[in-house]
Amino acid sequence: MTKLRLAIVGAGPAGIYAADILLKAERKFDVSIDLFEQLPAPYGLVRYGVAPDHPRIKGIITALREVLDRGDIRLFGNVRFGEDITLEDLKRHYNAVIFATGAVRDAGLDIPGIDAIGSYGAADFVSWFDGHPDVPREWPLDAESVAVIGNGNVALDVSRMLAKHAEDLLSTEVPDNVYVGLQASAVTDVHVFGRRGPAQVKFTPLELRELGELRDVDMVVYDEDFDYDDASKAAIASNKQVMVIDRVLQSWRKRPSINNAGGEASRRLHLHFYAKPLGVVAGDDGRVAGFRWERTRPDGEGGVVGTGEIREVPIQAIYRAVGYFGSPLPGVPFDKRHGVIPNHEGQALRKDSNDRVPGVYATGWIKRGPVGLIGHTKSDAMETVRHIINDQGSWWQPIDPSEDAIPALLESRGVRWTDLTGWHRLDEHEIGLGSPHGRARIKVVPRHEMIDVSRGE
């Protein structure tokens, strides 16, 4: 029987779902799958993006682990495509490759002062609080007033983690250094800025409502933001999600806060709408000193126009949460504008001619862009896998499809790769670290330590 030797690069949800779907699909050939992951741990943003105080979502890992544990997928952790293994290597040993490398860095925000000291990307902060091995262990949290730019769920995650008292994270898998860092935080006010109105936000009701439940944090909203235009009224009337968001915000207008007196919390989380970023004001020392924005107003069609009214708030740190962005992969076409592999339903296309690139596929955020929930990567994977199955005639013909070739190649290059058994070892080690403290796990953060534990060295 014909065999498909498939490489999948990226062990986030998109890569793991693709493997699962292909192994379960009706097909006329055998399949063997090798999954390459640059980190010594699988699960992508589920482990290194989803906030530690969202254990229910982290629980998706249980389903992903079941896929890996079934025994028919080989995991090669700590192997970076483009450095440890190349497209030429994959062509020599496989019939096809799916790239599921996600989007792991921050999109830019092109405003003056954005490079000031104390200006951060949300993705870096998220990586820090989720214990990503490749970011510094220390995070400066000496600012009393902080701005967060963006009205998506990442902006809310970042704002919540900044405003939340560290003690309220203790029951979670928050890494020790993060707990200690957050405990020392000087923050009193977190200001979130959206350039459009409450009816045009990208965040979801559950995540918004959660902010109002934070202990010792007052929610502050401003009456001027609720003078809705007809398009906003129509959105609230016709879309249940927008309706709930409006209801939650309206309930906060009636709460005591520092604005309408009576607020007693030691921290405040302010939501500002109709605020288009103009610039970060830096002091003589090059540090963030303020955030300047232009008040906008609705344009009647869901967009906004500037009013010419400029405002400024003193802050000492700013986080841009204006979206993530994909990274190019050596030898693989890349659409610089959208940060994705150009593709037709997951089949990679050449950038200039739009011709198909045989054997090369994409799924997840590197296929579709950095939008959507974990569940969306499943439907993504279905579409991509269907093409792989139908494209049998254009698969690569590998010179050496033997199972032993890849471990031998990695050994010869001195790559300290980790496998599924190693991941189990690290997983159990982390759970063991957490259990005496009544915690689900305590993550191992330094990469070398993750590898040592995995390899039993």
Ligand X SMILES: Cc1cc2nc3c(=O)[nH]c(=O)nc-3n(C[C@H](O)[C@H](O)[C@H](O)COP(=O)(O)OP(=O)(O)OC[C@H]3O[C@@H](n4cnc5c(N)ncnc54)[C@H](O)[C@@H]3O)c2cc1C
Q: Within positions 317 to 346, which residues make up the interface with ligand X, using CB under 6 A?
A: 324, 329
* Residue 200 DSSP label: G
Chain residue at closest Cβ approach to ligand NAP:
152
Binding range to ligand NAP, per CB under 6 A, among 17-25, 133-141, 148-156, 394-402: 148-156
Q: Is residue 218 at the binding interface for ligand NAP, with CB under 6 A as the rule? A: no
Quote the least distance from Cβ 25 to ligand X, whole Å: 19
Binding range to ligand X, per CB under 6 A, among 245-253, 276-284, 364-372, 443-451: 364-372
d(CA 357, CA 348): 5
> Contacting ligand NAP (CB under 6 A), which of 322, 340, 366, 451?
322
Binding range to ligand NAP, per CB under 6 A, among 164-172, 223-231, 370-378, 425-433: 370-378
Q: Is residue 151 at the binding interface for ligand NAP, with CB under 6 A as the rule? A: yes
Q: Within positions 160 to 179, which residues make up the interface with ligand X, using CB under 6 A?
A: none
Query: Of all helices (H) and strands (E), which one includes residue 367?
Result: helix 365-368
Q: Give the type of residue at 138.
A: E
Quote the least distance from Cβ 417 to ligand NAP, whole Å: 30
Which of 16, 117, 22, 135 has its CA nearest to residue 66? Answer: 16
Q: Is residue 94 at the binding interface for ligand X, with CB under 6 A as the rule? A: no
> Contacting ligand X (CB under 6 A), which of 6, 21, 49, 320?
49
Q: Is residue 244 at the binding interface for ligand NAP, with CB under 6 A as the rule? A: no
Beta bridge partners of 97: 7, 360
Distance of alpha carbon 246 from its chain centroid, rounded? 26
Quote the least distance from Cβ 305 to ligand X, whole Å: 30
Quote the least distance from Cβ 274 to ligand NAP, whole Å: 11
Q: Is residue 61 at the binding interface for ligand NAP, with CB under 6 A as the rule? A: no
Which of 260, 108, 125, 275 has its CA nearest to residue 187? Answer: 125
Q: Within positions 88 to 127, which residues make up the interface with ligand NAP, using CB under 6 A?
A: 109
What is the end-to-end Cα distance of the chain in Å, rounded?
40
Q: Is residue 362 at the binding interface for ligand NAP, with CB under 6 A as the rule? A: no
Query: Of all helices (H) and strands (E), which one includes residue 47?
Result: helix 44-48
Q: How far is CA 131 from CA 49, 126, 177, 435, in A?
A: 10, 9, 9, 18
Q: Is residue 90 at the binding interface for ligand X, with CB under 6 A as the rule? A: no
Question: How many Cβ atoms from other residues are within 10 Å of residue 433's Cβ?
Answer: 15
Asked if 295 and 126 count as a contact pair (C-beta separation under 8 A), the reply is no
Q: Which residues contact 209 (CB under 8 A, 6 or more apart)?
A: 248
Q: Which residues contact 304 (CB under 8 A, 6 or more apart)?
A: 195, 196, 197, 274, 276, 296, 297, 298
Which of 81, 147, 15 has its CA nearest to residue 328? Answer: 81
Q: Which residues contact 271 (CB under 8 A, 6 or more apart)?
A: 192, 194, 219, 220, 221, 222, 225, 249
Which CB sits closer to ligand NAP, 326 or 370? 370
d(CA 102, CA 14): 8
Quote the least distance from Cβ 86 to ligand X, whole Å: 11
d(CA 349, CA 333): 7
Which CB sits closer to ligand X, 139 or 226? 139
Binding range to ligand X, per CB under 6 A, among 99-107, 235-243, 300-308, 340-348: 99-107
Q: Is residue 153 at the binding interface for ligand NAP, with CB under 6 A as the rule? A: yes
Which CB sits closer to ligand X, 136 or 372? 372
Which CB sits closer to ligand X, 35 or 236? 35
d(CA 224, CA 313): 17
Handedness of CA 36, 42, 46, 51 (dihedral sign): negative
Tell me which of ligand NAP, ligand X, none is bound by residue 104, counting a contact when its beta carbon lies within the kind-specific cut-off of 5 to 8 angstroms.
Answer: ligand X
> Contacting ligand NAP (CB under 6 A), which of 15, 102, 133, 194?
194
Quote the least distance from Cβ 376 to ligand NAP, whole Å: 8
Q: Is residue 380 at the binding interface for ligand NAP, with CB under 6 A as the rule? A: no
> Contacting ligand NAP (CB under 6 A), which of 323, 333, 339, 422?
323
Which CB sits closer to ligand NAP, 91 or 195? 195
Contact residues for ligand X, defined by CB under 6 A: 9-15, 36-39, 44-46, 49-50, 54, 57, 80-82, 100-102, 104, 126, 154, 157, 324, 329, 364-365, 372-374, 377
Contact residues for ligand NAP, defined by CB under 6 A: 109, 149-155, 157, 194-196, 202, 207, 277, 321-324, 370-373
